[in-house]
Amino acid sequence: MEPDSESIAVPNGSIEEDRRSPPPPPMPTNPMVTPLLADLYQFTMAYAYWKAGKHLDRAVFDLYFRKNPFGGEYTIFGGLEECIRFVANFKLKEEEISFLRSAMPTCEDGFFDYLRSIDCSDVEVYAIPEGSVVFPKIPLMRIEGPVAVVQLLETPFLCLVNYASLVTTNAARHRLVAGKSKTLLEFGLRRAQGPDGGISASRYCYMGGFDATSNVEAGRLFGIPLRGTHSHAFVSSYMSLDEIIDKALLSHDGSSTCEDFVTLVQNWLNKIQRAKSLHGVFGETNQSELAAFTSYALAFPKNFLALVDTYDVIRSGVPNFCAVALSLNDLGYKAIGIRLDSGDLAYLSTEARKFFQSIEEEFDVFDFGKMNITASNDLNEETIDALNKQGHEVDAFGIGTYLVTCYAQAALGCVFKLVEINNQPRIKLSEDVTKVSIPCKKRCYRLYGKEGYPLVDIMTGENEPAPKIGERILCRHPFTESKRAYVVPQHIEELLKCYWPGNSHKTREELPPIGKIRKRCMQHLDQMRPDHMRRLNPTPYKVSVSAKLYDFIHFLWLSEAPVGELQ
């Protein structure tokens, strides 16, 4: 399957439709994501705001990250749809309120009445479209509304965006290193950080460019294509061919029945053993394994893919597989291939390919040499890169642990910062300059150059005139005075779009189905200048502010920071 394909192998009705349906009506959300999926301080702050009569102050928060993950210079934004679904359904239940009452026993009753009354009808959410390539400091989302309510969204939004964006980025990085021609399978459920970590991983790895998952529940929920065959346990659960009772197999065209498929397999194994071109490669193969393969082929003659490393890949697994595949071939079926799950994947895949090619020549079986080889042993970006450099014959990679847990960097540091309240810009200072927040309600643009690549992202104040095509604009680094450049954009994209208009009457952007988001992601990645995307020493993409915003940031910074006294 092409990485940018939209086709979905597994039929999926209601969810896709639901995503295309119009605005507000409550959409199904992850059952774990409730208003209590928050830090306690959101509720204590809400109480303090309420107590001070400040809870309706109109606040603007930015959600952004400070550094790209995995040593790279890009990130893919994921998690938006889940945030919007959360907002659409935001309403505290009676039992949640009574739990909060018990957890905050000193708070006045009126506060719990207030909690009972709130929803997100006067909240506005602006965001960059999900699946976009994004960069540090630029808000992925801007959330406006009554300060107490917006503050309650902080942790759920961060929780929904942080991991989603991290694992989508990880998947995209694996796609880039593997290349478009390889099939990428996500096999991570068993090693994921909790059940929902597994489900989220499958969803966002597909979004980031994977072709399929082993996770059945993710297939059901999101219509992601499913893949899977058998494990080592299946192989070792067989002792011998005698265990196979029903040996009959109907031919692919239904015209005839082979009454003893087991004998057919044994005969093929003998022929392979005697074949000159394969002479001496193997002796006796493991009979448990042969029985398991034969049995699996009888169950799935159209989808025969065998795990060949339970005992010994070259001396047992591959010849046993070939005997079964050639028997299937006699009946008009085409075996799919093998999976390698241990050992030197470069060497074993190359040896297996040679074996398949010898079989093709020796027995004149069309395309047998092109048999699919899947590899799946603790793979990650580095090992795939190393395999590519060494040379291998793997067609599909099954990737689990390192992909879904984002082992190379297990967290993305998205933050949620107040940038304006009651039209007053606010800044958060820090001794670490990279942690200073960029104040003001902002607009954000991506400026493209002559060659069609994005050149720079720029933030301006809400009311500054937008940059214009063909007009020179000064782009400044937000904190470093000397870093600045003039840009003449050939194309301009406003980044933040309205996904939840609240009662502002703005048009609400559609939430596209996952296939479309995946396509956007692949297109965005293709569009980037290659040096930003390199695995080693990539060029940083520039993120800037307008001259006016630069001046304002530094004015506010000085006015808020206390002046030291040297003694």
Could you say whether residue 248 binds its own copies (CB under 8 A)? no
List the one residue out of 119, 61, 66, 117 whose CA is nearest residue 89.
119
Spatial contact of 136 and 63, defined as CB atoms under 8 Å apart: no
The number of beta carbons lying within 10 Å of the beta carbon of residue 524 is 19
Q: Which amino acid is at 473?
A: I
Could you say whether residue 254 binds its own copies (CB under 8 A)? no
Stretch that binds its own copies, among 265-273, 294-302, 517-525, 541-549 (CB under 8 A): 294-302
Distance CA 89, CA 507 (A): 19
Q: Which of 8, 15, 45, 488 binds its own copies (CB under 8 A)?
A: 45
Could you say whether residue 141 binds its own copies (CB under 8 A)? no
Distance CA 321, CA 372 (A): 12
What is the size of the binding site for its own copies (CB under 8 A)? 133
Binding residues for its own copies restricted to 86-115, rule: CB under 8 A: 96, 99-100, 102-103, 106
Could you say whether residue 263 binds its own copies (CB under 8 A)? no
Stretch that binds its own copies, among 123-131, 241-249, 321-329, 472-480 (CB under 8 A): 241-249
Q: Which of 90, 268, 282, 550 binds its own copies (CB under 8 A)?
A: 282
Residue 463 makes CB contacts below 8 A (sequence gap 6+) with: none
DSSP 8-state class, residue 506: P
Relative to beta strand 484-487, strand 212-213 is unpaired
Q: Which pair of structure tokens corresponds to residue 205?
A: 């790895």
Spatial contact of 395 and 337, defined as CB atoms under 8 Å apart: yes
Shortest approach of its own copies to residue 164 CB, angstroms? 8
**Tokens 């009808």 -> residue:** 121
Distance CA 270, CA 447 (A): 66
Could you say whether residue 553 binds its own copies (CB under 8 A)? no
Binding residues for its own copies restricted to 160-199, rule: CB under 8 A: 160, 162-164, 167, 187, 189-199
**Tokens 């643009």 -> residue:** 445
- Cα-to-chain-centroid distance, residue 295: 36
Could you say whether residue 275 binds its own copies (CB under 8 A)? no
Could you say whether residue 33 binds its own copies (CB under 8 A)? yes
Q: Which pair of structure tokens corresponds to residue 325?
A: 């595949």
Could you say whether residue 214 binds its own copies (CB under 8 A)? yes
Binding residues for its own copies restricted to 300-319, rule: CB under 8 A: 300, 302-303, 309-312, 315-316
Relative to beta strand 372-375, strand 337-340 is parallel
List the one residue out of 353, 313, 326, 331 whose CA is nearest residue 266.
326
CB of 245 or CB of 536, closer to its own copies: 245
CB of 20 or CB of 435, closer to its own copies: 435
Could you say whether residue 66 binds its own copies (CB under 8 A)? no
Shortest approach of its own copies to residue 406 CB, angstroms? 7
Phi, psi of 168 (to 5 degrees): -65, -45
Binding residues for its own copies restricted to 340-369, rule: CB under 8 A: 342-343
Contact track, its own copies, 380-419, x by CB under 8 A: ---------------------x---xxx-xxxxxx-xxx-
Shortest approach of its own copies to residue 22 CB, angstroms? 26
Helix (H) or strand (E) holding 353: helix 345-363
Q: Which of 151, 183, 327, 544 binds its own copies (CB under 8 A)?
A: 151
Stretch that binds its own copies, among 221-229, 323-331, 461-469, 536-544 (CB under 8 A): 221-229
Distance CA 125, CA 470 (A): 31
Could you say whether residue 67 binds its own copies (CB under 8 A)? no
Spatial contact of 167 and 201, defined as CB atoms under 8 Å apart: yes
CB of 131 or CB of 219, closer to its own copies: 219
Could you say whether residue 537 binds its own copies (CB under 8 A)? no
Could you say whether residue 228 binds its own copies (CB under 8 A)? yes
**Tokens 């190379």 -> residue:** 408
